[in-house]
Amino acid sequence: MFQDARLINFIANSLALLAVGALLLGLVVWVAQRPYFSITTLRLQPAEDDGSLRFVTASSLNETVRDKLRGNFFFIDLDQTRQLVETTPWVRRARVQRVWPNALTIYVEEHQPLALWNDGQMINTWGEAFTAFASDLPEGTNLPQLRGPEDSERLVVQRYAEVARWFAPLQLRVSELTLSPRYAWEATLSDGMRLTLGRDPAADIADPHGRSGALPFAARIERFVEAWPRLAQNLNGRAIAHADLRYPNGFAITLAPVTPTASK
């Protein structure tokens, strides 16, 4: 009898504790679901403490995420929210942090545009393609146009840097650089001169996006750049429309048509 009474008391106390626990849990869930904890504020901050945001705005961020957020302060999935924020134009990476009791602080790393990429995209300084609005660029911004097959962004950026470095001493910029599906290069300079650079040596190795062909590629350009001062002197101000650098021991040029003004 005595043992039965102790067992009954233990069961009763356990059930009472479970009932109190369930009541407290229900109360916590009820409080956590109150509208007071609904996310109503998004705070936008640059990822770097000393940085600033040029392209991502609070309005563009709100337009992307406002109607897609799920959960309140306690139940929102921060990783899912981060992925959603990273679909906003100009956002490269994001970090999301809760702010008591109903806000999120979103730290954003922006894409830094290097060039226009193919049709409707841009390429950033990390060699990554991204989609954004060119109209968001500051007035007067003049980005080069880069083109290439899918997944060739890093190789195109590398070659762009090489070509730009070679022609910088001649006060010429690279306006366009195109890599064909057969890995042949063409460039257009800021004075309108078009360069045919030929097939990329990197296409002849196992990894078509490798770097081992950089020296032969640069050698063609180096030969043309070294000949430029003497060439310009002999042309007496005539402009070059096209230069074909694919020849093993030289290059061929096509002069621009002579205008009446130039002839006079």
Same domain for 177 and 106? no
Residue 244 belongs to some domain of the structure: yes
Token digits for 28? 């916590």
The per-residue pLDDT of the chain, averaged, comes to: 83
pLDDT average, residue stretch 148-159: 93
Helical H segments across the chain, by residue range? 2-32, 58-65, 78-85, 153-167, 214-235, 260-263
How long is the chain?
264
Residue 22 belongs to some domain of the structure: no
pLDDT of amino acid 97: 95
Q: Is the dihedral of CA 142, 147, 151, 156 positive or negative?
A: negative
Same domain for 179 and 133? yes
Residue that is last in its domain, among 88, 110, 132 = 110
Residue 206 belongs to some domain of the structure: yes
Residue that is last in its domain, among 110, 135, 163 = 110
Residue 124: Cβ within 10 Å count: 20
pLDDT of residue 18 exceeding 80: no
Same domain for 46 and 126? no
Token digits for 47? 């990822």
Same domain for 230 and 180? yes
Counting the structural domains of the chain, the total is 2
Residue 233 belongs to some domain of the structure: yes
Residue 132 belongs to some domain of the structure: yes
Q: Which residues form the domain of 76?
A: 36-110
Residue 131 belongs to some domain of the structure: yes
| Rounded alpha-carbon distances, angstroms, from residue 78 to 28, 55, 67, 92 | 21, 23, 16, 17
Same domain for 168 and 46? no
Residue 81: Cβ within 10 Å count: 21
- What is the CATH classification number for the domain harbouring 54? 3.10.20.310
Inter-helix orientation angle 58-65/78-85, to 10°: 120
- What is the CATH classification number for the domain harbouring 215? 3.40.50.11690
Instruction: Provide the whole-model pTM.
Output: 0.78
Compute the 3-state secondary structure of the chain and give helix, strand, coil in percent, each to the nearest 5.
40, 25, 35
Same domain for 74 and 148? no
Residue 161 belongs to some domain of the structure: yes
In tens, the pLDDT along 24-80 reads 555 455 544 546 678 888 999 999 876 789 999 988 898 888 788 887 888 889 999
Residue that is last in its domain, among 84, 110, 136 = 110
Quote the radius of gyration of the chain (alpha carbons, Å): 31
- Determine the residue type at 251: F
- Contact between 178 and 119 under an 8 Å Cβ cutoff? The reply is no
Residue 48 belongs to some domain of the structure: yes
In tens, the pLDDT along 196-242 reads 998 876 655 444 444 444 447 788 899 999 999 898 888 888 899 99
- Contact between 156 and 148 under an 8 Å Cβ cutoff? The reply is yes
pLDDT of amino acid 254: 94
| Pairing state between β 184-189 and 194-199 | antiparallel
